[in-house]
Amino acid sequence: MSSTFISKGADGYDQFMGRWSRRLAPLFLDFAGAADGERIIDVGCGTGSLTLLIPDRANISAVEGIDYEEQFVDALRRRNTDPRITARQGDACAIPFGESQFDRALCMLVLHFVPTPERAVAEMLCVVRPGGTIAATVWDTFGGMPSQRMFWDTLTAIEPSTLGMRGPALVKPMTSPGEMTRAFVAAGLEQVTEATLAIRMDFANFEDYWIPLINGQGTLAAFLSTLPETVQDRIQSAVRQAYLSEQPDGPRSFASVAWAVKGIVPGR
């Protein structure tokens, strides 16, 4: 299996994570770069938060998006109006392009869903020409997403049967400090640099926070629906209290931090 990502459709993705990946994309692009004339591959392009932004930054020659999920690729194609952008189903661990086909590979919020992320880095290294750039970003799921941690810590405190779920949700591949940098160096990339990218996740009220969370991607929604209704109500009420923190319901804003790493492909 090359992906642990559980999809609930393109609309579900956009409501749960796409709204935040659209905020992260410009910061990641500032870090990763894009230059006139380049051929760029967006690995794990999803519904196109990053892919569709690239031509605003540079007069690129082409952007190829690949994603494991055919339905995301379809959603991206429907949104796209730029003939230089194409997208296809494909696996980051077996990228469907030959050696040195690209000047740059970008990979946003994907490597933490790949059970063998080193394989994906090696594949990007293969399809990018010597001297080209590879850049990736993943959420700091353990220490950099207070909106998610608030949910998981509350959940595990009141419902012990969920204890085994918190670790996998918060400790994902490539998300611990320096882990992605070490993987890039081990793969042979040169001039590897790391940065922290920060956005804010803004919610209109508790419902805006809660509904995407329980309807979003992942096994959580499926798991919650297996619990007795009284337990589900208790969980929702406890998370609501944490969200409100003794203030009236309404907007809340949470910082959200991602690791970003880039490196240069060495000569072959």
Ligand X SMILES: C[S@@+](CC[C@H](N)C(=O)[O-])C[C@H]1O[C@@H](n2cnc3c(N)ncnc32)[C@H](O)[C@@H]1O
CB of 155 to ligand X, least distance (A): 21
Q: Which is nearer to ligand X, 92 or 265 (CB)?
A: 92
Q: Which amino acid is at 42?
A: D
Radius of gyration of the chain (CA): 19
5 binds ligand X (CB under 6 A): yes
Binding residue for ligand X, selected from 10, 17, 239, 265, defined by CB under 6 A: 17
Q: Pick the stretch among 29-37, 40-48, 165-173, 190-198 that binds ligand X (CB under 6 A).
A: 40-48
Choose which of 31, 97, 113, 243 interacts with ligand X (CB under 6 A): 113
Extract the tokens encoding 176: 């611990």
45 forms part of the interface with ligand X (CB under 6 A): yes
Q: Could you tell me which residues are beta bridge partners of residue 261?
A: 136, 194
Given 62, 114, 138, 239, the residue binding ligand X (CB under 6 A): 114
Q: Where are the alpha helices (DSSP H) in the chain?
A: 10-13, 19-32, 54-57, 70-79, 117-127, 146-158, 163-170, 179-187, 206-215, 220-226, 229-244
Should residue 67 be labelled a site residue for ligand X when binding is judged by CB under 6 A? yes
Would you count residue 46 as binding ligand X (CB under 6 A)?
Answer: yes
CB of 50 to ligand X, least distance (A): 6
Interface residue with ligand X among 105, 108, 261, 265 (CB under 6 A) is: 108
| 114, 117, 119, 123 alpha-carbon torsion, rounded to 10° | 90
Tell me the two tokens of residue 132. Answer: 């080209």
C-alpha to C-alpha distance for 206 and 244, rounded to whole angstroms: 8
Strand partners, 86: 64
For ligand X, the binding residue among 10, 21, 41, 123 (CB under 6 A) is: 21
Rounded Cα distance between 98 and 95, Å, is 8
Of the pair 113, 203, the CB lying nearest ligand X is at 113
Q: Among residues 31, 34, 41, 72, which is the contact residue for ligand X, using CB under 6 A?
A: 72
Residues making contact with ligand X (CB under 6 A) = 2-3, 5, 17-18, 21, 44-46, 49-50, 67-69, 72, 91-93, 108-110, 113-114
